[in-house]
Amino acid sequence: MLAVKEMNPVMIIAILLLITANGFLIVKTVKTWRNYSASQNWIETKAQIENIERQKVILSEGSGMGGTSTSYDLYLTYRYKITGQIFTRELTKTVYSEEAANAIKVGDISTIYVDPEQPDQARDERGNIIDILGVLAALIVANLIGAGILYQINSFFSSELS
């Protein structure tokens, strides 16, 4: 007969939380990969900026530290023509200087990428492999932390029993 050691409920909860985190990160990785792969076939086209709304964003990095960072969110409305039809699309772009924010003007021509299957869907850049690497790094870090926590829980309860 096979002897089975009773597992502590805390260990079971930790394992379930790690499995849940893995599931979430794996789904996120697959979605990011699909998004990246699909965007590589999007059509590059020129679009004209019809409207710009600028918003200054100031982030404080803790009280008393004095560290702040400033960025500018630009809400851009593009007009572009694809397959004989004219579309408009709003995209958000973040820049990190006032000069860069003011350099973008209504009427400027910009390159965008259009989904050939849904031409009303466009973005100002194709998917980036860095996004996939970021999610994979999060998956690795989560598992390393999870393994450490499981080891500590196991050590704690093993020493408690002896």
What digits encode the pLDDT tens for the residues 130-161? Answer: 888 988 899 999 999 999 988 888 888 777 65
Q: Does residue 120 sit in the same domain as residue 73?
A: yes
User: For residue 51, what pLDDT is reported?
Assistant: 96
User: For residue 66, what pLDDT is reported?
Assistant: 63
Q: Which two tokens stand for residue 91?
A: 């995209």
Q: Does residue 75 sit in the same domain as residue 24?
A: no
DSSP designation for 5? P
Cα separation, 121 vs 42, whole angstroms: 10
Cα separation, 116 vs 120, whole angstroms: 9
Q: What is the pTM of this model?
A: 0.64
Alpha helices per DSSP H over the chain: 9-39, 98-103, 129-161
As a whole-number percent, the residues of the chain with pLDDT over 70 amount to 91
Cα separation, 91 vs 98, whole angstroms: 19
Q: Does residue 121 sit in the same domain as residue 53?
A: yes
Q: Does residue 135 sit in the same domain as residue 93?
A: no
Q: Does residue 112 sit in the same domain as residue 88?
A: yes
Q: Does residue 17 sit in the same domain as residue 73?
A: no
* CATH assignment at residue 69: 2.40.50
107, 74, 70: which is closest to 91 by C-alpha? 74
Q: Which two tokens stand for residue 37?
A: 């792969």
Q: Does residue 32 sit in the same domain as residue 96?
A: no
User: For residue 114, what pLDDT is reported?
Assistant: 94
Q: Which residues of the chain have pLDDT under 70?
A: 1-5, 62-66, 160-162
- Is 18 within a domain? yes
- Is 89 within a domain? yes
Query: What size, in residues, is the chain?
Result: 162
Q: Does residue 109 sit in the same domain as residue 140?
A: no
- Note the maximum CA span of the chain: 79
**Number of domains, the chain:** 2
Q: Does residue 58 sit in the same domain as residue 20?
A: no
For 16, the domain range is: 9-36+131-161
- Is 1 within a domain? no
78, 68, 72, 77: which is closest to 99 by C-alpha? 72
